[in-house]
Structure 1
Amino acid sequence: MLVRPLSIALLAAVVLAAAGCNREQKLAEQEAARAVAAEDAAKQAERAFDAALAEGNYQLARAQGDVLLAQYPATEAAARVEPQLADVAAKAEAMREERRLAGLWLYQGQAAGKGEQRTALIQAKDPIEIGGTRTPVKLVFRDHPSWGRSSYLVMEAGDFDCHGSCKVGVSVDGAAPKRMAAYRPDTDEAIAMFINDDRALWKLAQDAKTLEIEFPVNAGGTRKALFEVAALDPARMPW
């Protein structure tokens, strides 16, 4: 009388155990499939990372690497890419800074007389304060077919206190300033002050990361304008 119930109970236990094993096996198989899919996706991301690296596009490579590590951190591809990311990030930042500095310069050419006037212009990092007004300062190198070569500062407001002649201080990369002769032309066409030795200033700009020019203003005292000149391209303005 007890054999049948015991057999049924035993059979039920076996079935439940088998079901549990099957469920665990199925979960393991699903986990393995997800791991394989993650590795495949990570390998694709790694190929995109390597391609960007081969092209020298460090900003794109950095982005590809960051996505790979964020989405597939436990993959073999992530383990291969992660040690490279610090160097790639540094190169990406250097590339970004190089582009920023290059974008500070404006090169122009226009017909003038029987030839072409060419200019290279850069604006100071920060505006200066004159009489309660903040005004930008520009440094211009110009090559004119009739007037020749010149270098000068331009402001939009205020004025330079340099009629006749004066001295300005030119500092390269934070070093002690070099005194250079300058003058404010007698004209109302622009608020400009010319620096006499344009060749010397041009050479300083080619070799420097920054030029800081201190000049007198009619509001009293002097002001300083800092120019980030590191990306000057002499080929765009041959002197």
Structure 2
Amino acid sequence: MKRLILAAACAFALAACSNPEEARKAQEAAAAAARAQQEEKAEGVAKQYDMAVASQDWERARIHGGALLDQYKDTDAAARIEPGFAEVQAKGDAARDLRRMQGLWQYNQIPVGSKGSQVSAQIYSKERVDVDGSGAKPVQLVFRDHPEWKRHAYLVLQAGDFRCPQCKVQVSVDGGKPIAMAAWRPKTDEAIAMFITDQKALWTLARKAKVISIEFPVKAGGTRTAVFETGGVDTHRMPTWWQ
């Protein structure tokens, strides 16, 4: 293709010196050759786009489609994909966001003697929260399955404390109306934790929602709210919880 364009350019240069009509034809030939080269490159990108769409790899499809419409916007290939690209782009953005949320979770499996293993899934709050005036710090939400202690869901603070021997927390799902849930603070100084009594209901909300927020009372006075982007949880990492 490069040789074709070079040949057309040379022909144009020679013809321009002697015959205007030949110069025009040579110029058109050079433009057509350049256009053909662009179409060829565009088709190569479009092929990768089509393969990504066929395999539902929406992130890759979004990248190839964007490149096609940006670099080869006046080609036939770009015109072909343009009507449906907005939907593909939206799916690609959603897939990228899901992958980001999946990376927010941490999973652990710890042997507990001969009794089995403790498995847990935990996530930190989207924003740090100041619970006692000492500065904003992460709040952690943990789901744990222990061979002896069974299933629990609880919040963990890095400073301050909960005002909750027995209390209620308010749980909102994707910005919806708050749901009251019973909670309690164990009598221990080993960890600043507050257990949410209906752990099964909280797990159900967490695995179905994109975002949950939990408002809880603190010893310093009033309540605080921690927001968790739970939409990327891998439910199969908690084998007895995932149903």
Question: Is TM-score (shorter-chain normalized) higher than 0.5?
Answer: yes
Query: Match of 1:155, as an amino acid?
Result: L
Query: Match of 1:118, as an amino acid?
Result: V
Query: Match of 1:227, as an amino acid?
Result: F
Q: How many residues end up aligned between the 2 structures?
A: 224
Closer/same/farther in 2, CA of residues 176 and 53 from structure 1, 3 Å limit:
closer
Closer/same/farther in 2, CA of residues 93 and 221 from structure 1, 3 Å limit:
same
Map 1:124-135 to 2 at 5 A.
124-130=125-131, 131-135=133-137
Residue of structure 2 in register with 1:149 after alignment: 151
Q: Which segment is superposed worse, 172-181 or 19-28? A: 172-181
Residue of structure 1 in register with 2:217 after alignment: 216
Query: Where do 5+ consecutive residues of structure 1 fail to align?
Result: 1-14
Greater Rg, structure 1 or structure 2?
Answer: 1
Query: Match of 1:78, as an amino acid?
Result: A
Does the 8 Å contact 1:113/1:145 carry over to 2? Answer: no
SS at match of 2:19: helix
Does the 8 Å contact 2:169/2:217 carry over to 1? Answer: yes
Q: Which has the higher strand share?
A: 1
Residue of structure 2 in register with 1:198 after alignment: 199
Taking only the aligned residue pairs, the percentage that are identical comes to 48
Query: Match of 2:29, as an amino acid?
Result: E
RMSD: 2.0
SS at match of 1:200: helix
| TM-score normalised by L of structure 2 | 0.84
Query: Match of 1:156, as an amino acid?
Result: Q
Does the 8 Å contact 2:16/2:22 carry over to 1? Answer: no
| TM-score normalised by L of structure 1 | 0.85
Does the 8 Å contact 1:42/1:77 carry over to 2? Answer: yes
Map 1:1-239 to 2 at 5 A.
18-114=18-114, 115-130=116-131, 131-162=133-164, 164-237=165-238, 238-239=240-241
Query: Match of 2:55, as an amino acid?
Result: E
Q: String of CA shifts for 1:4-56, please: whole Å, max 9, x gaps.
A: xxxxxxxxxxx999422222222121112111212222211211111121121
| CA distance in 2 between partners of 1:180 and 1:70 (Å) | 51
Closer/same/farther in 2, CA of residues 146 and 23 from structure 1, 3 Å limit:
same
| CA distance in 1 between partners of 2:174 and 2:16 (Å) | 79
Q: String of CA shifts for 1:159-203, please: whole Å, max 9, x gaps.
A: 1122x3222222233333332222222222211111122222222
Query: Match of 1:136, as an amino acid?
Result: P
Query: Where do 5+ consecutive residues of structure 2 fail to align?
Result: 1-14
| CA distance in 2 between partners of 1:214 and 1:120 (Å) | 20
Query: Match of 1:147, as an amino acid?
Result: W
Closer/same/farther in 2, CA of residues 177 and 71 from structure 1, 3 Å limit:
closer
